Structure 1
Amino acid sequence: MPSNNNAGAPVEQITEKRDLHTLTRGELQELLAAMGQPKFRAKQVEEWVWEKNAQSFDEMTNLPKALRDALGERLTLGGTTEVARQVSSDGSRKYLLRYPDGVSVECVGMPTRNRLAVCASTQAGCAMGCAFCATGAAGLARSLTAAEIYEQVMHVRDDFNARVTSVVLMGQGEPFMNYDATLAALRRLNSPEGAGIGARHLTVSTCGVIPQIMRFANESEQFTLAISLHSAVQKTRNMLMPGVRKYSLINLYNVMGEYVNKTGRRPTYEYALIGGVNDTESELQALCDFCEGTLAHVNLIQLNEVEGSKFRPSTEARAADFVRRLASVGVEATVRNSRGSDIDAACGQLKQRLR
């Protein structure tokens, strides 16, 4: 039996450093107090983390160097690594970002004149399995933390060197299957001590997870809600969106009525027009019946093609037919211009890799 020359020697405990983004203000204050620091240091540190998106403790130049070194010994700044970036002919930029555990996600920055919109992901991959969406094809890796969602927006901000004016959580994942982290990220994006983006310029897109829609309606902030509808015919919707099969259209219709009554806010229905699938006359009539008399706005999108998919986009003429028919029953509809489709950055095309 081999001898153990280290017998009786104390075992060194290796503790993993905690990401500073995960500390509450109270925890940060407690840590700094234990280090003999005055209370105002917590606000200084938070400004560097949340407003300035510091990537290292050395950037925190209004902190004493000894404190920066001490923080670096105890904590990390988490952070993302940009694995790849593509630039579209329309100026949009798609990023593949990797987190410290090796999980990666995509996000998109979309500039328009003096505005900058960001499409961010709430999960790495997606478990909803929508038939026309590239993200769901690979399944779900994991949900993201609030900080990881927030960091996507800050990464885009810093790359464009411009203030982000709006954020849509329409990237990879189903936000309402990661509800708590999604709300925490929205609140940080809205906070003057974060990105400072107005609540009505922060939008969550859900496939229609009914229990969480009413939970969302009871939040105090004026965040915006979009529903991925894609068909008002139950059989068609079940085929296109199997992940929400258990949430029937009649129940969705009822809960959206409750949502509007509770919040007074106007929801959006997202509808990707797929040739010969949900752009037929019967599908159009069903959509008119579903939306007539409601406050909803319909956002029509000509399906963005996905490699290997059997689905093809509807025509521009058919999209115009939808706009006219919906208008005839008092429903406002617009055809949304997809951004970044030439780099697979448009809706339904995000798949955690860059070509």
Structure 2
Amino acid sequence: MKSVPVKVVAENAPGAGAAPQKLNLLGLDRAGLEGFFAELGEKPFRASQILKWVHHRGVTDFDAMTDLSKALRTKLKDMAEVRVPEPVLDQTSSDGTRKWLLQLDGSNAIEAVLIPEKSRETLCISSQVGCALECSFCSTGYQGFNRNLSTAEIIGQLWYVTRMLEQEGTGRQVTNVVFMGMGEPLLNFKNVVPASELMKDDHAYGLSKRRVTLSTSGVIPYLDRLTEVSDISLAVSLHAPNDALRDELVPINKKYPIAELLAACQRYIADKPHRSITWEYVMLDGVNDTDEHARQLARLLKGIPSKVNLIPFNPFPEAPYERSSDERIRAFSNILSNAGLVSTTRKTRGDDIDGACGQLVGKVADRTRRQQKRAQRAQAGTA
């Protein structure tokens, strides 16, 4: 494992705690840019020009945008900027997984993880500083929550990693993006959706709808809104085959139980031919990994186009669980496969740099006082 500091690549990236004074064009999708230029009395095609310069070419200096008039460039310099997250740490795992810590302001930082595979490079990005939910097996949830990321801060993770790969000249490039980093994406709906649109825009990153995946614990009102405006791939953090157990592991289930979640997922793929839902299922020793749990899960998903992704639990300090054995995971998977479900087991990647699923923590100025409350409960229990 190696850990090295990263040189900031954007000259106009602010220092820690700097307050933005200008409109950050990094955070505007095509519709947002067209609206911005309409207010300036400019034609809609200006949006395509900016998308190409900023996202496709990685240019942040308006003076270098040579197909814009000098007058427009001057106007943009006065009222706008392209500001990217400031990288402070770059770590590479023994398996090639790479994790960046990106500074947002004086007290908050997020993590983005690049997972190299034989035929693709998957970037796992964050949508919140910390997480507003408190799933019991996830270290991000243990750390607490501060705020939602802006669209610019979300897309900035892809912008930065794209630029890093280009500078290194290896020919590698991001082929897939998953909203599986810090946070619950649907609780940041208004910023996640335009970020995903930028990822798909041919003048920006040009990723297909199947190569952008949103992972959610199941915030049903926003999932239904996503159904109306997006066609990206959907992954659902299920982790239990019944409400009683999921209430413990994924507390939002108490508000949106499994039956309602399944119905919302079916609505999402109803008009999307050949699409399926990926169900994420963390394997916790003696908790949710028995043969009976597998049979319950198979019955639950019967008739729904599905892929089940079994995730060996990645431990973290204070975690109350242990990872299921490889033998138990294989037995669980076999039951699902025999029931006609497509089942895969996720290979643990980046756990030696805390970059694996459920291990991302970043740096969070916790507004929820979650860790303090947990410590108080523990102290009361031992009194």
Q: TM-score, normalising length from structure 2?
A: 0.80
Q: Which amino acid aligns with 1:245?
A: K
CA distance in 1, matches of 2:52, 2:259: 46
Counterpart of 1:241 in structure 2 is: 250
1:191–1:71: structure 2 CA closer, same or farther, 3 Å change rule? Answer: same
Q: CA deviation at 1:182?
A: 1.2
Q: Which amino acid aligns with 1:257?
A: Q
The one of 180, 184, 204 aligned to 1:170: 180
The one of 195, 209, 229 aligned to 2:205: 195
Q: Does 1:320 align with 2:325?
A: no
Work out whether residues 209 and 244 of structure 1, in 8 Å CA contact, stay in contact via their aligned partners in 2. no
1:114–1:282: structure 2 CA closer, same or farther, 3 Å change rule? Answer: closer
Q: Which amino acid aligns with 1:339?
A: R
Q: CA deviation at 1:133?
A: 0.4
1:49–1:310: structure 2 CA closer, same or farther, 3 Å change rule? Answer: same
Q: Does 1:344 align with 2:354?
A: yes
Q: Which amino acid aligns with 1:132?
A: F
1:152-167 equivalence runs, <5 A: 152-161=157-166, 162-167=172-177
SS at 1:218's partner residue? helix
Q: Does 1:286 align with 2:296?
A: yes
Q: CA deviation at 1:58?
A: 5.0
Q: Which amino acid aligns with 1:84?
A: L
1:32–1:351: structure 2 CA closer, same or farther, 3 Å change rule? Answer: same
CA distance in 1, matches of 2:298, 2:264: 18
SS at 2:162's partner residue? helix
Work out whether residues 210 and 247 of structure 1, in 8 Å CA contact, stay in contact via their aligned partners in 2. yes
Larger CA Rg, structure 1 vs 2: 1
Work out whether residues 217 and 262 of structure 1, in 8 Å CA contact, stay in contact via their aligned partners in 2. no
User: Which structure exhibits the higher relative contact order, with contacts defined as CA atoms closer than 8 Å and separated by 6 or more residues?
Assistant: 2
1:1-355 equivalence runs, <5 A: 16-22=21-27, 24-30=32-38, 33=41, 43-60=48-65, 68=73, 71-100=76-105, 103-161=108-166, 162-219=172-229, 221-264=230-273, 265-353=275-363
CA distance in 2, matches of 1:276, 1:88: 29
Greater mean deviation of Cα atoms: 338-347 or 108-117: 108-117
Work out whether residues 33 and 47 of structure 2, in 8 Å CA contact, stay in contact via their aligned partners in 1. yes
Q: Deviations over 1:318-339 (max 9, x none)?
A: 1111111011211110101122
Q: Which amino acid aligns with 1:29?
A: F
Point out where structure 2 has 5 or more consecutive residues left out of the alignment: 1-19, 167-171, 365-383
Work out whether residues 269 and 296 of structure 1, in 8 Å CA contact, stay in contact via their aligned partners in 2. yes
Q: Deviations over 1:174-217 (max 9, x none)?
A: 11111121111111100102110001111000001122223223
How many equivalent residue pairs? Answer: 336
CA distance in 2, matches of 1:26, 1:259: 28
Counterpart of 1:6 in structure 2 is: none
Work out whether residues 297 and 333 of structure 1, in 8 Å CA contact, stay in contact via their aligned partners in 2. yes
Q: Deviations over 1:73-102 (max 9, x none)?
A: 332222110011110111111011122565
Q: Which amino acid aligns with 2:268?
A: Y
Q: Which amino acid aligns with 2:328?
A: R
Q: Deviations over 1:251-309 (max 9, x none)?
A: 22333333343434200100010001111233222212212332111000110111221
Greater mean deviation of Cα atoms: 122-131 or 249-258: 249-258
CA distance in 2, matches of 1:294, 1:75: 47
Q: Which amino acid aligns with 1:247?
A: Y
Work out whether residues 116 and 164 of structure 1, in 8 Å CA contact, stay in contact via their aligned partners in 2. yes
Q: Which amino acid aligns with 1:50?
A: H
1:55–1:308: structure 2 CA closer, same or farther, 3 Å change rule? Answer: farther
CA distance in 2, matches of 1:65, 1:85: 38
Q: CA deviation at 1:238?
A: 0.8
Structure 1 consecutive aligned stretches of length 4 or more whose deviation exceeds 6 Å: 37-40
1:278–1:49: structure 2 CA closer, same or farther, 3 Å change rule? Answer: same
SS at 1:227's partner residue? strand
1:102–1:353: structure 2 CA closer, same or farther, 3 Å change rule? Answer: closer
Point out where structure 1 has 5 or more consecutive residues left out of the alignment: 1-14
Q: CA deviation at 1:41?
A: 5.7
Work out whether residues 293 and 330 of structure 1, in 8 Å CA contact, stay in contact via their aligned partners in 2. no
CA distance in 2, matches of 1:116, 1:211: 32
1:288–1:253: structure 2 CA closer, same or farther, 3 Å change rule? Answer: same
Q: CA deviation at 1:28?
A: 4.1
SS at 1:178's partner residue? helix
Q: TM-score, normalising length from structure 1?
A: 0.86
CA distance in 1, matches of 2:151, 2:220: 22
